[in-house]
Amino acid sequence: MRATVIHAAGDVRLEQVPDPQVVLPTDAVVRVVASCVCGSDLWPYRGANEVTEPRRIGHEFVGVVEETGDDVQLRRGQFVVAPFVWSCGGCAPCRSGVQTSCERGGGWGGPDRDGHLVDGGQGEAVRVPRANGTLVPVDGVDEDVEEGLLKSLLTCSDVMGTGWHAATRAGVQEGETVVVVGDGAVGLCGVLSARMKGAGRIIAMSRHAPRQAVAREFGATDVVEARGDEGVQAVRELTDGRGADRVLECVGTHDAMLQAIRSARPGGTVGYVGVPHGIELPIELMFRRNVNVAGGVAPVRAYGEALRDAVLAGDIEPGKVFDAVMPLDDVAEAYTAMDERAAIKVMLRP
């Protein structure tokens, strides 16, 4: 089959690789119907995380179960969403809803705990370990699913679940004011999540017109383009001089985290989900203003069924974050488009 391999910063290639197979009784092989490029794929692509040797990449995909090991209860032909890590569903962290800390789980695109390769998501098929625990089944949908619905289901693999985690850990309540820092796909899904939780006012921080338009469609009532001191000032002016009840930090840089913490009202909470790169928390400022910071890597598996059902019911259309669709052959071009911010998020079709 063909799959994406990252060789070095700026160098991703679609290559011929061995077909995945069921190795362990808990495995399934999923044929990928759609995958995508994630903002976090850009960290190694931009050289922020070193690539020491060529490796598979891609961790967001949906597809159809093609083969199953003896212990797997999913049927062949079942449409499934794969969360961005695989997990057993049975250990203590999994049972407490932190599947990202699964004691038997791991990530896509590297070896599992027995040394068997787990394929990356940006390919034609994937060996899925711990398939019963990992995969979210979607009934009534097959590989010919309409593109809009396909896009929305694909967001349940990462960005919608991650935006939802930010809003959940921030503790967004009905009628509250929420600021969202970050206008990537996760930030936009954070706006949508805040709306689903009944936020009264949602302030999206964004400088890009196409992203502002999606944010407004998802429920943003205000857009703030300014950053730094001016951004904080603009948020205060919209919130009676106090700051927002809840802030979602969906970037992961020091500046974004500082923006988030300074945008919160005294006693407010920041829910953070951006992969941290060089963040130092201003603990004295947090102490003085009683600002809470909660969050971490999103256990999207915990939210899989609820978000799937909201998508299937037509309550939400998070798939609107995909503003480009490309064939898997053009994966290098998809990375370039994401890197240059020419696209919010690119869906790839094998």
Residue nearest to Zn ion (CB): 38
Rounded to whole angstroms, the Cα distance separating 293 from 279 reads 13
Nearer to Zn ion, 72 or 102 (CB): 102
Region 101-130 residues binding Zn ion, contact defined as CB under 5 A: 102
Rounded to whole angstroms, the Cα distance separating 207 from 182 reads 10
CA distances from 203 to 85, 97, 165, 248 (A): 30, 29, 18, 10
Q: Shortest distance, CB of residue 93 to Zn ion, whole angstroms?
A: 6
Nearer to Zn ion, 4 or 87 (CB): 87
Rounded to whole angstroms, the Cα distance separating 114 from 24 reads 10
If binding is defined by CB under 5 A, does position 29 make contact with Zn ion?
A: no
Q: Shortest distance, CB of residue 120 to Zn ion, whole angstroms?
A: 12
Nearer to Zn ion, 297 or 332 (CB): 297
| Token pair listed for 238 | 């919209």
Q: Shortest distance, CB of residue 206 to Zn ion, whole angstroms?
A: 20
Binding piece for Zn ion, criterion CB under 5 A, among 27-35, 82-90, 146-154, 330-338: 82-90
CA distances from 54 to 10, 12, 207, 329 (A): 12, 9, 35, 18
If binding is defined by CB under 5 A, does position 38 make contact with Zn ion?
A: yes
Site string for Zn ion, 40-79 (x = CB under 5 A): ----------------------------------------
Rounded to whole angstroms, the Cα distance separating 111 from 290 reads 43
Nearer to Zn ion, 100 or 177 (CB): 100
If binding is defined by CB under 5 A, does position 158 make contact with Zn ion?
A: yes
Rounded to whole angstroms, the Cα distance separating 143 from 61 reads 13
Nearer to Zn ion, 10 or 93 (CB): 93
Question: Given candidates 94, 141, 344, 347, which one binds Zn ion under the rule CB under 5 A?
Answer: 94
Binding piece for Zn ion, criterion CB under 5 A, among 83-91, 170-178, 238-246, 290-298: 83-91
Nearer to Zn ion, 101 or 221 (CB): 101
Question: Given candidates 88, 178, 235, 251, which one binds Zn ion under the rule CB under 5 A?
Answer: 88
Report whether 166 contacts 108 (CB < 8 A). no
Chain position carrying tokens 């600002």: 291
Question: Given candidates 74, 91, 98, 332, which one binds Zn ion under the rule CB under 5 A?
Answer: 91
| Token pair listed for 234 | 């603009």
Nearer to Zn ion, 8 or 91 (CB): 91
Report whether 87 contacts 105 (CB < 8 A). yes
CB within 8 Å of 156: residues ≥ 6 apart: 81, 83, 136, 300, 303, 304, 307, 308, 311, 318
Nearer to Zn ion, 224 or 272 (CB): 272
Q: Shortest distance, CB of residue 262 to Zn ion, whole angstroms?
A: 27
Q: Is 138 buried (19+), middle (13-18) or exposed (0-12) by CB count in 10 A?
A: buried
Residues near Zn ion (CB under 5 A) are 38, 87-88, 91, 94, 102, 158
